[in-house]
Amino acid sequence: MTSKNFRLDDFVAGWIGGSGYQNTLHCILSIYRKETVMGFFKGMSFPLASITVYNSVVFGFFSNTQRLISKYRYGDGRHPCGMLDLTVASMLTGLISVGLGAPVDLVKIRLQMQTQMVLAENLQLAGNVANGTNIPLRSVDIPNQRLYRGPIHCISSILQTQGIQGLYRGAGAMILRDVPGYALYFIPYAVFCDLLTPSSSSSPHPCSIWLAGGLAGSISWVTATPADVVKSRMQADAQLQKKYKGVLHCIVQSYRAEGAEVFFRGASVNAIRGFPMSSTMFLMYELSLQFFRSH
């Protein structure tokens, strides 16, 4: 799974580390319970497929970029990267991640939006039903509100109506989020791992990896919150007459309407959920790499 400077096992380990929705089994069971077998062909299956591929690309690209930088700077791909090397590798990873992540996020947000719209209409209709009439919410259907039958239909519809640029709406805000965001993800992880690893040890202990990954995840998720708010608002803007003309316009309009606090909405939740997600991801990634490279 290797060549002189390129390793595929980093991508495989990233795929294993990113196999979460808590974990793959939990996701599969959740989809099946809520929507039976048909759920795997609808919007809920999209996060399961996308997150594993996304993390595979992110971790694989980051690790291979580090080796390439070390190869050209120090003549040896195994030479430890300095802080500048880590910064360049992580920011390039953030840039590459937008190419894959922007369409994925857009489709997820559009599918989530239409589900929320139908639920709101159902609740409104149920409230207008005469007292004493027992109609379960799932039987009150608004078929005309559903623009997309699933992720594939969503992608094809956007391509037909808006072209490839339609899939990358909000990509500018995503660059503002992910380029510094990944620097504040991988660099704190490396720093904490180094601090938590005794000088006599050649590799960090699993507990150190878990703690360093969790702290790095919380830092990255919190600092990325303002740009994520802008990205999500632009991607959710599916009107024919767009509410936001661009990233700067979205920032200004959001600030005028809701104040500066709007950009930090959900930051505390991001800090809390970023810890277990990232700690598990880094731990599974590192353990997978150790397994591959010892066999």
Asked whether residue 295 is domain-assigned, the answer is: no
Question: Number of folded domains in the chain?
Answer: 3
Regarding whether 281 and 187 lie in a shared domain, the answer is yes
Give pLDDT, residue 292: 83
- Does residue 132 belong to any structural domain of this protein? no
Indicate left, alpha or beta for 266 from its phi (over 0: left) and psi (-120 to 50: alpha). Answer: left
Q: For position 54, what pLDDT does the model report? A: 86
How many angstroms separate the CA atoms of 88 and 274, rounded? Answer: 23
Q: Does residue 162 sit in the same domain as residue 226?
A: no
Number of residues that make up the chain:
295
The pLDDT score that the predictor gives to residue 21 is 41
What would you report as the CA-atom Rg of the chain, rounded to the nearest whole angstrom? Answer: 22
What gap in Å lies between CA 122 and CA 79, rounded to an integer? 60
Look at residue 186 and tell me if it is in a domain: yes
Rounded-to-integer distance, Cα 129 and Cα 108, Å: 32
Sequence-distant (6+) residues with CB within 8 A of 120 are none
Q: Are 263 and 254 in contact (CB under 8 A)?
A: yes
> Are 192 and 104 found together in one domain?
no
Closest CA to 233 of 225, 48, 223: 225
How many other C-beta atoms lie within 10 A of the C-beta of residue 151? 23
Per the structure, the complete domain to which residue 92 belongs is given by: 45-126+148-168
Same domain, 282 and 195: yes
Longest Cα separation, the chain: 79
164 and 50, same domain (yes or no): yes
Same domain for 228 and 279, yes or no, is: yes
Q: Classify the C-alpha dihedral 275-280-283-285 as positive or negative.
A: negative
In a domain, 157, yes or no: yes
Residue 134 lies in a domain: no
- Is the residue at 180 inside a domain? yes
**Shared-domain flag, residues 11 and 49:** no
Q: Is residue 142 part of a domain?
A: no
Instruction: Please tell me the predicted confidence (pLDDT) of residue 49.
Output: 65
pLDDT at 4: 59
Same domain? For 210 and 263 the reply is: yes
SS3 21: coil
- Do residues 174 and 72 share a domain? no
Together in a domain, 242 and 265: yes
Determine the pLDDT at residue 251: 95
Please give the model's pTM, rounded to 2 decimal places: 0.77
Q: What is the per-residue pLDDT for 139?
A: 40
pLDDT 10s per residue in the chain (295 long)?
555 567 777 787 777 776 644 444 555 555 555 555 444 444 445 656 677 888 889 999 999 999 999 999 888 888 888 999 999 999 999 999 999 899 988 888 888 777 655 444 544 544 454 444 444 444 444 444 567 888 888 899 999 988 999 999 989 999 999 999 999 999 999 999 999 988 767 788 899 999 999 999 999 999 999 999 999 999 888 665 678 888 999 999 999 999 999 999 889 988 998 899 899 999 999 988 888 877 6
CA distances for 197 relative to 50, 191, 202, 211, angstroms: 33, 10, 8, 11
- What is the rounded distance in angstroms from the CA atom of residue 231 to the CA atom of residue 106? 9
Same domain, 107 and 121: yes
DSSP state, residue 254: H
Residues 23, 54, single domain; the answer is no
Q: What is the pLDDT of residue 119?
A: 47
| pLDDT given at position 253 | 94
Q: Do the domain assignments include residue 253?
A: yes
Rounded (5°) CA angle 257-274-170: 45
Report the 10 Å Cβ neighbour count for 210.
21
Q: Measured between alpha carbons, how far is 10 from 59 in angstroms, rounded to an integer?
A: 6
Cβ pair 99, 174 in contact under 8 A: no
